Amino acid sequence: MINAILTGIISLVMALVEVMLYPINLIISTFLPDLDNALYYVANMFELAGQCVGFCVSMLGLSSFAVSIIVLFWVFKLTAPFAINSIKLAINWYRSLKL
7-56 residue pLDDT tens: 888 889 888 988 998 988 888 778 777 777 888 898 899 888 888 887 88
Say if residue 73's pLDDT is above 90. yes
- Determine the pLDDT at residue 3: 78
Distance between CA atoms of residues 46 and 39, nearest Å: 11
Residue 76 has pLDDT above 90, yes or no: yes
Residue 99 has what pLDDT?
A: 65
Our measurement of the distance from residue 28's CA atom to the centroid of its chain's CA atoms, rounded to an integer in Å, reads 22
pLDDT at 58: 80
| Exposure b/e, 28-56, CB count within 10 A at least 16 = b | beeeeeeebeeeeeeeeeeeeeeeeeeee
Give the model's pLDDT for residue 85. Answer: 92
- The mean pLDDT of 69-98, rounded to a whole number, is 90
Q: What is the DSSP letter of 61?
A: T
